[in-house]
Amino acid sequence: MSQAAAAPWFELQGITKVYGQGESEVRALDGIDLLIEQGELVAVMGASGSGKSTCMNIIGCLDTPTAGRYLFHGADVGGLDRDQRALIRRHFIGFVFQGFNLLPRTSAVENVELPLVYRRVEAEERRVRALSALKAVGLDGREKHTPSELSGGQQQRVAIARALVSEPSLLLADEPTGNLDSSRTKEIMELLVQLNQERGLTIVMITHEPELANYVKRRIVFKDGRIVEDRPVRSS
């Protein structure tokens, strides 16, 4: 266990991502190196088109690089096929998005159960784990509510519970507070900090809101496909 904990949770080595060719070529990532340790809480920032979302997609095994190596738990993801990358997403990575992406006519607990349905977990165990995940995000008692019966902040808590229910080792959050007011934003960020501190969950969050960097331990800034800043923000 100590040996695994000492290794980087994931590492990008000379990652380049190119779209198109010739005059239409776009170099979304230009030879970036990035290492994330277990238990880090990181904010990834940058203007639209800076490369931060492309980087997130590669980390989340949603896209593959044109060149370079991506090591996840020491395994070279570049050598995996589409189905193998899907297995990594399913078993090791949780995703939270700005738009919540909840099924509108489905209860909170059923929304949270969905990843376990795809993993063919038995119904009784699914329900127990989903209820536990909802409790972890402060939504016990709201299990039967549909998204329309919940506030925006509560909907995002359901989305976070859905990401947690598979017990991932990495949580990728893409603008998780983008649709929320300042009060709900504070609640969601405090929840992410709590999950990071109490569970040791590694969290990488894309955001365009500079004030959210105050909640994280490390800030990474992209510009023109390169990392132009990578520094600690606060002590853990």
Residue 7's pLDDT is 54
Sheet holding 67-72, edge to edge: 26-36, 10-19, 67-72, 75-76
Which tens digit of pLDDT belongs to each residue from 83-107? 999 989 988 999 998 888 899 999 9
Burial class (CB in 10 A: 0-12, 13-18, 19+), 5: exposed
Which tens digit of pLDDT belongs to each residue from 170-206? 999 999 988 889 999 999 999 999 999 999 999 999 9
Q: Which domains does the chain have, with CATH numbers?
A: 38-63+82-232 (3.40.50.300)
Burial class (CB in 10 A: 0-12, 13-18, 19+), 194: middle
Residues in the chain, pLDDT under 70: 1-8, 234-236
Give the whole-angstrom CA distance, residue 128 versus residue 131.
5
Structural contact between residues 213 and 41, judged by C-beta atoms closer than 8 angstroms:
no
Structure tokens at 224: 């023109």
Residue 8's pLDDT is 62
H/E element holding 18? Answer: strand 10-19
Strand partners, 44: 206, 220
pTM above 0.75, yes or no: yes
| Residues 6+ away with beta carbon under 8 Å from 191 | 137, 138, 157, 160
Give the whole-angstrom CA distance, residue 40 versus residue 149.
34
